[in-house]
Amino acid sequence: MKKILFSLFLLISFAGRSSDSLKIGLMTDVHYFSSRLADSPRAELLFEKSTGRNIALFHEVLDTVIAKMSTQKLDFLFIPGDLTQHGERQSHLDFVEKLKLFRQKGVRIFVLPGNHDVNIPNSKRYTADEALLVESVSSEEFADIYGDFGYTGALSRDTASLSYLAALTDSIWLLCFDTNRWSENETHSISGGKITSRTLAWALDILREAKEKNITVLGMMHHGLVEHVPYQASFFADYLIPEWKKTATTLADAGLQIVFTGHFHANDITRFASPTGNTVYDIATGSLAQYPFPYRMMTFDGKRLSIDTRFVTSVSGMSDLQEQYQAKMEDFAREILPAKLRRMGLSLPDDARDALVDLLVRILVLHVYGDEETDDALRQSINNFAAVLGNEDFDAESFQLDFPPADNRLIIEIER
């Protein structure tokens, strides 16, 4: 009963509000792991060796963001998925406790699951010597645990997924798409996502109603709606919904102009125009559990969305957080990329493979930060790869790194 009354109070208090200067925070892919699931320093070390994540450090990164956001008098906080490390029930419960600071300040919070959050068959806890299976959460449990963060006070719930519709004000709605495939998980979580035909039909009904009532709709989902890098659908298909051009066109033509996403762990904003000229912006935000530790601060007045990206650059005992974790990212990418290229069927001579890996690593590091520019190191990598392929005259400046518009600071005009 307390949950219902609290949600109704928030809904009523915001429903009659003007849409002037709404202040919105956004963080995503937190991958929160409860310290209760690693029972000793040796267990924490085993977790770090297994995942590359230091529990205490990443908790401090999250605490830093919460503290900074708490001074901004936010109206809303959006979190589009991967709330937990790998779906551990205890991690969900402890993460909710972290979010209560915002609730106490009157901030309305809206979350969605990511592919690491619901019905995870291989969630784990750690002892000094081994990783053991631990309880995850069902879809019903997820909606209950996060009832105060979108589900209890929803204007509409999709019956085919954990998607829902929320009212931010009397003239602005938030349409939250659950794009995850948690119902298909058997031995592990499925990274790829989709919008089912039933969920899409539900969403299009909402967008039609919104158009009739002159209501602006913002969207949120975990997986990318549109490509953020060239050939993303070929090289990183799991980070996009299938048939992304068709779905993006359908949603843009139905009036959806903004969608907030995560999953790819990169800061990037891409503008997509349908064949009829309708535009949707996919605003992807990087992970708080990975370099460069970004979060967004935004204002929205119903006509324009102003986006400012901020980064956690240091924590206690690590003033060079960015530098250390950029190096970790580069090392990890160099380790896994050769195997990924082989799985894709790319059989290359050793020198060509090494040159391509070096190029991809440099592109990745630039992409996750956002607003990529071709620097001297990247030019050299591009030229090295071109030379290995026998194309010494390739113009590195012609290489397209980033789709428009800007990624980290931007004002988007909403068409009415």
List the structure tokens of 313: 């650059």
* Omega cis (within 30) before 242: no
CB 22 within 8 Å of CB 168: yes
The phi, psi pair for 370, rounded to 5°, reads: 100, 160
User: For residue 63, with 0-12 CB atoms within 10 Å meaning exposed, 13-18 middle and 19 or more buried, which class applies?
Assistant: middle
Q: What is the pTM of this model?
A: 0.91
Place of tokens 């250390």: 324
Residue 264 one-letter amino acid: F
Strands 76-80 and 22-26: parallel
For residue 157 the two structure tokens come to: 């719930």
Q: 19, exposed or middle or buried, with CB in 10 Å at 0-12, 13-18, 19+?
A: middle
Per-residue pLDDT of the chain (416 residues; tens, 9 = 90+): 334 333 443 443 444 444 478 999 999 999 999 999 998 999 999 999 999 999 999 999 999 999 999 999 999 999 999 999 999 999 999 999 999 888 888 999 999 999 999 999 999 999 999 999 999 999 999 999 999 999 999 999 999 999 999 999 999 999 999 999 999 999 999 999 999 999 999 999 999 999 999 999 999 999 999 999 877 888 788 999 999 999 999 999 999 999 999 999 999 999 999 999 999 999 999 999 999 999 999 999 999 999 999 999 999 989 999 999 999 999 999 998 888 888 877 777 888 888 888 888 988 999 999 999 887 877 887 777 777 666 666 665 666 678 899 999 999 999 87
Round to the nearest angstrom and report the end-to-end CA distance of the chain: 39
* Ramachandran area for residue 328 (φ above 0: left; ψ -120 to 50: alpha; else beta): alpha
